[in-house]
Structure 1
């Protein structure tokens, strides 16, 4: 499911560790530095300071999940918020808690490198190795190790994204800067390397794939030196073309493979006997819900996988009778355990009162408009920034001074919008019609 990404780019509250001050949109240098939050660089929001804890691949042991719950209770409002990159945000933090928070996360193994904590942005196919797809765990482990060991990679923006796709195209569709795609069965086949949204990919040896991904990121930093771009898509067209050519010259042959237009998240429910999946309404987890998910994970393999769609996969094996009981328990706790839930596909930014820039409490509005599940996901934004919005095809609801503007987004295309006044019944009907 969908939840809030950063509220804004407000004043950073440094808690040790500097951040790179690069940045530019296309050929125009950005006015400020990269204000993307981390655990050593907290951000001020209307509901307190905010920390974002990077969880590479979304993979959490039950022990580390417990540590995050402890951090939320000790320093914040107790809740845990999932992001569109499978990370965790802690909200309502005191502005002076940075050092203690960093110490707790370091002790738990969640902060292996202070210099690289915001560069560890890696999403991975959450069902990899659980169905008929290959496991990509070795790629994830090795890429995170390489990133943390590269002095150059510490300069990557907190927005720069790696994706590890098991071949099904789910995270390949998320618009990462560097994507590795498994081709063929586990332990065989090839690895494909994509740079930005390029329609071609390069074949690289499977064993060398993580190192090829790191080299591509380091090459991007060299290419971005003059433009100050934070991401591949921010590079001027000619610079981006040269970057892809340089990486291609050091890689294997190129093959055409357009990026998928729309990501397909795991359906809530069961993955055979291999896993339990549950989505989180608006990505917001209470302490009770988080503890329940952690306890459920301990009952089986002891692992949770946070998805880029604000969901959680609990790998098994899970015997069928036990799985049915577990799903009933998770559903009773308010989690989404079936595709026909009214909450399926519904997301929103943090909105008012958590964000000063929001014009409305969009989470409450999204909840009030929940009805029959729609064909398309819908995302509610309290302002034009649309923090945390999805990729691909979706219904965009943005609060404006004149009402709620509703438009149908298809990748880079956007249909002419419709504006609905602040009437909850009319708004819910308009959103339902657009999603259908």
Structure 2
């Protein structure tokens, strides 16, 4: 498997001559299919009321679809020029824009199953809300790029494997570990101090980036002489009134993403729902919201959805037993709610016609290959990602993946050209071969 561009070792510092161009809910991106808005959802945590507003926004301003991103956010596409004010007002009314000046820096992924299923691990979901509150209250944090990433992990190692810039890892006995970039070590703090420590880590990064003069967007881009050091970070925490201890080497855990759950997985709660290619119509989205809200014990609650960085959705208070028809409604809507479905671990970038750089309609091609495999009864294998160009936008993190890249003459699969009439079989063969992820090797 080719090494993803983000993982390539750098011999020279990255020097940025401009700010990042990541879209937001206020700064829209002009795409080939209209304007695009990216709504940050820290930790992927949505109430049913907020989710309903997103569907309304997709219908009122966009193309009637919602896209889930690899950071647990939601994208709206096909937006008309001049819709920005109306969209912002709609999102703000339901709490999705708590601080306009910070909306692009609220990049927080979190363990989607934290606090569920009696795992015995620390419940870290409340850290997400506190970290978001601190970010939005920090003037300094507005200098972060839209690519800077926080991960809040309950100790299992799922989101810690997503190349975050700052990681909070839940630890036993009311403690937490804070990791800076890919440092093998960490700083240990009291769990109650973890969100503030994460903000201070981001401010430490900004100070180092300013000193380096390279306008780095991410921790990995800092030159060696300005790299973040655990000892210096611990000293900064101490100066801020947070007791901290350096842990030189940590056996960082790794856990795979949650899989779709249904009757075939022992009827557990909650449901984990997989929309094909992370894209839903507003009608499909409303089915999700309805099942989430109906999962309340009294039937009158707001409901909760957790969008995962793997483009699935966890419904914490729903199961196939409550309500009894929830599972059937989701399946009828074309959503996967059982393991080993044909769409499991299949991802794709936007492709044509939405992206001007794409060389193919990769989503349509992926659907054709999946349908061919379904007809043959093929088993789920290694993750596969379809890319419309060499940039490989949205490729999987923390896993070894089958790499399909569109070219002017067709597709390359793991670096070799594949004739179009052999594509479906070549993908099936590649997915059936064992692949060891970099994270599993590190573990």
* TM-score where L is the length of structure 1: 0.87
Between 143-152 and 336-345, the greater mean CA deviation after superposition: 336-345
Match of 1:16 in 2: none
Give the match's secondary structure for 1:50. Answer: strand
| The one of 177, 199, 202 aligned to 1:214 | 199
Q: Distance in 1 between matches of 2:130 and 2:220?
A: 25
Match of 1:15 in 2: none
Q: Distance in 1 between matches of 2:280 and 2:366?
A: 17
Cα gap change, 1:26 to 1:61, in 2 (>3 Å): farther
Unmatched runs of 5 consecutive residues or more in structure 2: 1-9, 238-243, 297-302, 433-443
| The one of 275, 287, 295 aligned to 2:290 | 295
Match of 2:393 in 1: 387
Match of 1:405 in 2: 412
Q: Distance in 1 between matches of 2:292 and 2:307?
A: 12
Match of 1:334 in 2: 334
Q: Distance in 2 between matches of 1:263 and 1:357?
A: 34
Match of 2:7 in 1: none
| The one of 246, 256, 263 aligned to 1:264 | 256
CA deviations on 1:53-103 (whole Å, 9 max, x unpaired) are 000000100100011111111110111000001100000001211111111
Contact 1:273/1:317 (CA < 8 Å) preserved in 2? Answer: no
Match of 2:436 in 1: none
Q: Distance in 2 between matches of 1:386 and 1:162?
A: 22
The answer to whether the aligner puts 1:47 opposite 2:33 as a matched pair is yes
- How far 1:373 sits from its partner (Å)? 3.8
Contact 1:352/1:360 (CA < 8 Å) preserved in 2? Answer: yes
CA deviations on 1:284-308 (whole Å, 9 max, x unpaired) are 0111110000111111240010010
Give the match's secondary structure for 2:128. Answer: helix
Match of 1:311 in 2: 312
Runs of 4+ in 1 over 3 A off after TM superposition: 242-245, 248-251, 270-274, 320-325
Q: Distance in 2 between matches of 1:332 and 1:317?
A: 17
Match of 1:346 in 2: 346
Q: Distance in 1 between matches of 2:260 and 2:28?
A: 33
Q: Distance in 2 between matches of 1:239 and 1:435?
A: 41
Match of 1:413 in 2: none
CA deviations on 1:258-295 (whole Å, 9 max, x unpaired) are 545x6511111158653111111111011111000011
Contact 1:351/1:359 (CA < 8 Å) preserved in 2? Answer: yes
Contact 1:359/1:382 (CA < 8 Å) preserved in 2? Answer: yes
Match of 1:396 in 2: 403
| The one of 425, 428, 431 aligned to 1:432 | 428
Please show how residues 176-187 of structure 1 align to structure 2 within 5 Å.
Answer: 176-184=164-172
Between 426-435 and 139-148, the greater mean CA deviation after superposition: 426-435
| The one of 220, 232, 253 aligned to 2:219 | 232
CA deviations on 1:4-59 (whole Å, 9 max, x unpaired) are xxxxxxxxxxxxxxxxxxxx996242243210000110000011000000000001
Q: Distance in 2 between matches of 1:321 and 1:283?
A: 25
Match of 1:286 in 2: 281
Q: Distance in 1 between matches of 2:93 and 2:385?
A: 36
Please show how residues 63-78 of structure 1 align to structure 2 within 5 Å.
Answer: 63-78=49-64
Q: Distance in 1 between matches of 2:14 and 2:48?
A: 44
The answer to whether the aligner puts 1:158 opposite 2:154 as a matched pair is no
Unmatched runs of 5 consecutive residues or more in structure 1: 1-23, 408-416
Contact 1:267/1:339 (CA < 8 Å) preserved in 2? Answer: yes
Q: Distance in 2 between matches of 1:37 and 1:259?
A: 32
Give the match's secondary structure for 1:233. Answer: helix
Q: Distance in 1 between matches of 2:145 and 2:30?
A: 19
Match of 2:106 in 1: 120
Between 331-340 and 378-387, the greater mean CA deviation after superposition: 331-340
Contact 1:26/1:234 (CA < 8 Å) preserved in 2? Answer: no
CA deviations on 1:206-251 (whole Å, 9 max, x unpaired) are 11000000000011011111121100111123322x4444214443
Where relative contact order (Cα < 8 A, 6+ residues apart) is larger, the structure is: 1
| The one of 262, 269, 287 aligned to 1:274 | 269
Q: Distance in 2 between matches of 1:269 and 1:209?
A: 31
Contact 1:198/1:258 (CA < 8 Å) preserved in 2? Answer: no
Contact 1:58/1:86 (CA < 8 Å) preserved in 2? Answer: yes
Cα gap change, 1:281 to 1:317, in 2 (>3 Å): closer
- How far 1:427 sits from its partner (Å)? 1.1
